[in-house]
Amino acid sequence: MLIVLLIIGSYICGTINGAYYIGKIYFRKDIRELGSTTAGARNAGRVFGKGAFIGALLVDAFKTFLPLGIGYMLGLSPWVQALLALSVLIGHIWPIQLGGKGGKGIVVRPFCLLSFVAHGETIESEIDGCGLAGFSSSADYSVRPT
């Protein structure tokens, strides 16, 4: 039962869309009608400027780290923590209170992975299959001569 509540809570955290609320509160505009028409940090920066981007970035980081940190502190398995990460991502992309029109998850996905790295989890084995597999710590970032 606790895991189900945490998954629902993670989704709710994901629906807190910084770009949307910054646009509505500070600029009195709906970010989903401007720029790329997505409610994400990149679009907020493009439309409202650097301050809006940083604000949306901070909101996205906090809403991601909060449920994943709670899962870690409760000692939940990495698989359950991956479900929490997926729930935050789903909430960000398809927030119910915004009619399913959220961001693309460009900022939320890396913060999910940073949370796992900060907790010392192995990303490859825990994240594959949870919508986050495009970001792996085993990627080869070496520079090769052309």
Range of 36-45, 106-115, 131-140 with top mean pLDDT: 36-45
Structure tokens at 33: 């009608």
- Least Cα distance to 68 among 94, 87, 91 occurs for 87
* 136 pLDDT above the threshold of 70: no
Write down the H helix ranges in the chain.
2-14, 18-26, 41-48, 50-73, 78-93, 108-118, 123-127
| Predicted TM-score (pTM) of this structure | 0.74
Q: Which positions ≥6 away from 86 have C-beta within 8 Å?
A: 130, 131, 132
Residue 126 is predicted with a pLDDT of 47
Find the mean pLDDT for residues 133-146: 44
* 117 pLDDT above the threshold of 70: no
Q: What is the 3-state secondary structure (H, E, C) of 2-41?
A: HHHHHHHHHHHHHCCCHHHHHHHHHCCCCHHHCCCCCCCH
Residue 100 is predicted with a pLDDT of 83
* 137 pLDDT above the threshold of 70: no
- Determine how many CB atoms are found less than 10 A away from the CB of residue 42: 18
Whether 16 and 90 have beta carbons less than 8 Å apart is answered as no
Question: pLDDT digit string (tens) for 19-52?
Answer: 999 999 999 999 989 988 888 888 999 999 999 9
Supply angle C-alpha 44, 8, 103, rounded to 5: 15
Percentage of residues in the chain with pLDDT exceeding 70?
77
